[in-house]
Amino acid sequence: MKALCYNGKYDLRVERVPDPEILNPRDAIIKVSKTAVCGSDLHLINGYIPTMKEGDIIGHEFMGEVVETGKGVTNLKKGDRVSVAATISCGHCNYCSTGSYSLCDNSNPNAFMPEKIMGDSPAAIFGYTHSFGGYAGGHAEYVRVPFADVGMFKVDERLTDEQAVFLGDAFPTGFMGADMAGIQPGDTVAVWGCGGVGQMAIQSAFLLGAERVIAIDREPSRLETARRVGRAETLDFSKVDVLEALREMTGGRGPDRCIDCVGLEAVDDSAQYYYDKAKQFLGLEIDRAIVLRQAIMACRKGGTVSILGVYAGFVDSVPMGAAMNKGLTFKMGQLHAQKYIPRLMEYVANGQADTSFLATHSLSLEEGMKGYDMFNKRTDDVMRVVFTP
C-alpha cells in the first residue's frame, strides 16, 4: 500500500510499504477514506519532539471503512463506515473505565520510554513518536486500529466524510478544552489559537453555555472564520496588546476561562519569544510557553486555565506567583476521544455543531509533503489539509 512516511526533519515521502495485518484479537483494519493533518504533527515534522524513526507512518486523524476485524471485535463489522479516535486506549484499565482514555495504562508498547522522564506513560497515539507507542498512523491506504472495539465509532449517515474525519481529534480535543474549563452560564471564554482545535473549542464553549467567546490569533483568515463560523469576538495579537484588550473587553475582570490551543510552538514578536527561541535553539528549553504565560496573566481571579496545546518537556518563566495568588485552576491533558465522540457525532448530526469548514484543502496522499508545507507556512489561508489516499 501507499503510506506517507517520516524520513527525518521536514522530509515526508509517500512510499510503498506492506499492508497492515491483524496482529491482536481486538485489532481491525480500516481502508482510509479521509485523513487530515494536525498541528501536533507539525511538532514532529519540525523536529521538536524526539523518538521518531525514519520510515514511521504518520497521521492520527482519519476515518474509513472496516475491511477486517479480529475475533475480539464484535460491535463493528466489515463495511462499516467509522471514525477512529486519535488516542489508542484499552477501555478496561482504571483510567479508561473512568473516562480518562488518554491516560490508558495499557496501550503504549513503549511505556518504559515516557516513564523515564514523566514518571508514567500516557496512552499511545496513532502515527506519533515511539515514546507515544510507535503505532503506524493513518496517512496510508490502510491502517491497523488496535483496541478497535473501543476506538472506532460507526458514523451516523447524516454526516459527510468531511465532517466525520474531524471526530477523531480536532473536535474532541477542542471540546475537551471547553469541558475541562468548567464553563458556567454567563462566562466569558478566551481561546488562544484559531486552528482546527481552537475553532472547535470556540463552538464547544458556546455549546457548554458560554455567553461570550474571545478568540486570539494573528491570521486574518482564521480570525474571520472564528467570527463567521464560531460567532466569536476576535483579537489580533500582532495588532493589539492582548492582556489590555481582554481586560477592557470584560469590564476589568478578565476572562473567566482561558483555553490554550497553541502549545509549545507559540509565536509572537515579543522579547519573550526571542528569548524562548534562543533557549530552544541551545537546548535549554523544549517548549515556548508564550500563550500559557499570557493566559495566566489574563485569567480572572479564581478562573480556570485549560491547556490543550501540546507541551513536550520543560517550560520556563511560568508566572506561578500570579497563578497561585489569583487562585487559578489548571486543567490539561491529551484528548479523551473515546469519551466524547458519540456525543459530538450527535451534535454534528443534528446541526448544533459543524466541522466540515476545517477542511479547506483536499489533496491526494502523494501530495503529502506539499500539504504539510502549506499547513506549516499557513499559505492560501489553509486551516486543515485533508488527504484522500
Partner 1 sequence: MAKTTDLAKSGIIDMAPVDPIASGSSRINIGETERYISVGGGALLTTVGLKTGGFGGLMLTALGGYLVYRGATGYCAVSHSLNRDTSEEKTETDVLEISKSLTINKPRAEVYAFWRKLENLPKFMQHLESVTEHDNKRSHWVAKVSTGNKIARALPAVEWDAEIVEEDENSRIVWRSVPGATVDNSGEVRFVDAPGNRGTEVHATIKYRAPEGIVGEAVLKLLNPALKQMVKEDIRRFKRLLEAGEIPTLEGQPSGREKEGEAFYKKQPTQHKEYEGVVL
**7 contacts which partner out of Zn ion, partner 1, none, CB within 5 to 8 A by kind?**
partner 1
Closest-CA residue to 153 (of 61, 67, 76)? 76
Residue with cell 507556512: 377
Residue closer to Zn ion, measured from CB, 255 or 309: 309
The answer to whether the CB of 48 falls within 8 A of the CB of 126 is no
Judged by CB under 8 A, which of 33, 76, 91, 319 binds partner 1? 91
192 scored as a contact of partner 1 (CB under 8 A):
no
Distances (CA, A) of 61 to 113, 133, 141, 166: 24, 16, 13, 7
The bridge status of strand 188-192 relative to strand 212-217 is parallel
Q: Which among 117-125, 167-175, 228-236, 316-324 is the span making contact with partner 1, rule CB under 8 A? A: 117-125
- Note the helical H segments in 313-385: 320-325, 337-349, 368-377
187 scored as a contact of Zn ion (CB under 5 A):
no
Q: Which among 51-59, 100-108, 220-228, 369-377 is the span making contact with Zn ion, rule CB under 5 A? A: 100-108
The answer to whether the CB of 60 falls within 8 A of the CB of 128 is yes
144 scored as a contact of partner 1 (CB under 8 A):
yes
Distances (CA, A) of 316 to 43, 259, 286, 325: 19, 19, 9, 19
Residue 236, classed as helix, strand or coil, is strand
Closest-CA residue to 63 (of 150, 157, 145)? 145
Residue closer to Zn ion, measured from CB, 127 or 255: 127
Residue 59, classed as helix, strand or coil, is coil
**369 contacts which partner out of partner 1, Zn ion, none, CB within 5 to 8 A by kind?**
none
How far does CA 43 lie from the centroid of its chain?
A: 12
85 scored as a contact of Zn ion (CB under 5 A):
no
The answer to whether the CB of 181 falls within 8 A of the CB of 189 is yes
Residue closer to Zn ion, measured from CB, 133 or 254: 133
Judged by CB under 8 A, which of 102, 107, 203, 306 binds partner 1? 107
State the binding string over 150-179 for partner 1 (x if CB under 8 A, else -). Answer: ------------------------------
Q: Which positions touch partner 1 (CB under 8 A)?
A: 1, 3, 5-7, 13, 15-21, 23-26, 49-51, 53-57, 72, 88, 90-94, 97, 105-114, 116-118, 124, 129-131, 133-136, 140, 144, 146-147, 286, 312-313
Q: Which positions touch Zn ion (CB under 5 A)?
A: 38, 40, 89-90, 93, 96, 104, 106, 169
